[in-house]
Structure 1
């Protein structure tokens, strides 16, 4: 893509230009590395102290994307080092330069220190990726290049000890389990809208690969997935989210599907929708990479590169949520059998 096509592609895909997208991804990468180094969440002046380094990293991302004619997320992360003092370093500050809150001249006065910080951020992410995926490294084939988007997906999912999605998923699980309990007590009656919604969702909730289920125990099988399974599972979650949103939109005027906590089924569905929505950006990106992969690309290293461990944990957590949501819909549809 030429520069104009690249700008259009970013606007269409991310609703922001190439430079704005570069700045956003650079800040996500910088803040993740800085907070890990400090071992705590940064706020106020501490966060702002890292802003200049993120600007320089953003400039390297922007330069690399324009030079390669690729979306910023598709740029190999190591390529940014070329622009931060290596092969292309001399051209980093050449015109044209994108806009900044301060002048690039003031940034260039601190170039040595800022380049060192920006390079440290990139190196930290490369090393962290190797550490986080050490248990996935033995695919028998050389690994694929680590892309900027690969690390951003890992950052978006969060650290294993405190994933960013955990609160939404746990809230949805509580809402679904509460709805199951309340329905079992007979505290709320089925309505036409509730029954129709459960009926509309059930085919989608059941349309998952059989390999994910232990038919005797009725539980998820989450280990030793065959190659290709993670991408399929991620695309499926996006499909469930789309279906759930469409069904809720169809019955948006139904009082007994309101999202208020006093309406158990509606509250459970609304909470599930929020939890599923968080994984959609990653699902879209992985699906695009899946569609554009070379036919001769082996799937194990492809998944190792593009579906990070933290995202896999997010997938499994949402699958477990859908197990409970499927049980709730089954209870609603078979209530007459129990009466």
Structure 2
């Protein structure tokens, strides 16, 4: 039953993220090139995380026991990719939130920072640094068994929880993800809300003293759409990662590692991981709900193969 759940989740997440990447890459959703670049990067990171976490780590060994996926070096690489893609998904959300914060709140700086070229540089640098940062996880594990002189499975080294270097690295890893990104997104959203409230009051005051009170404000309308997209994406991230962050804080405060969890704590940890995995397929629905042009493109993508099939059938019948 558990594997069936992951089968459905992986297929569903893979499909929606791939659809989001293809639609956003067409550039017909009414979004700026900079915003589209961040959204595509987030969807790509989510897609890679699903491939590594669900398909390679969970489903692969279940359906293909003692396959090459469970050879120790391959298993270690899978863990490195799993951690790297997870952190890329998180930190791309942070970089997107910062980009939108600059676009909304920093008018003197946004023309230089909020460009497609800057977005590409920020995303590339973030991805490379996170991949390098997770390389030490390759050495976290040791073979579980030696069969015919071949090392199989990945078992955590006992020194991972006692060696000062590993303990320091574990703290650094936990602070870098999820604590710092979570706090950063909360802070950026709070500052953005504060700026919007202040500027809205100023605009209302100016409009009340002007004669033309009924004309629309294009800047406010543009900002409104940007804010809706930002808050729905970051709000979804905050809610779905809340339980994981709570579990992380418990881990820090009590000093207890996951191997010492009782049944209740283990269930809490598993549910938190499930919600984190779920966060990898929510952004597509957010685009569909908040962006009318994305909905049009998604509807066209769904209808196109059906219409083509009907036309092909009619052509053959004629």
TM-score higher than 0.5: no
TM-score scaled by structure 2? 0.29
Counting helix residues as a fraction of each chain, which structure ranks higher?
Answer: 2
TM norm structure 1: 0.28
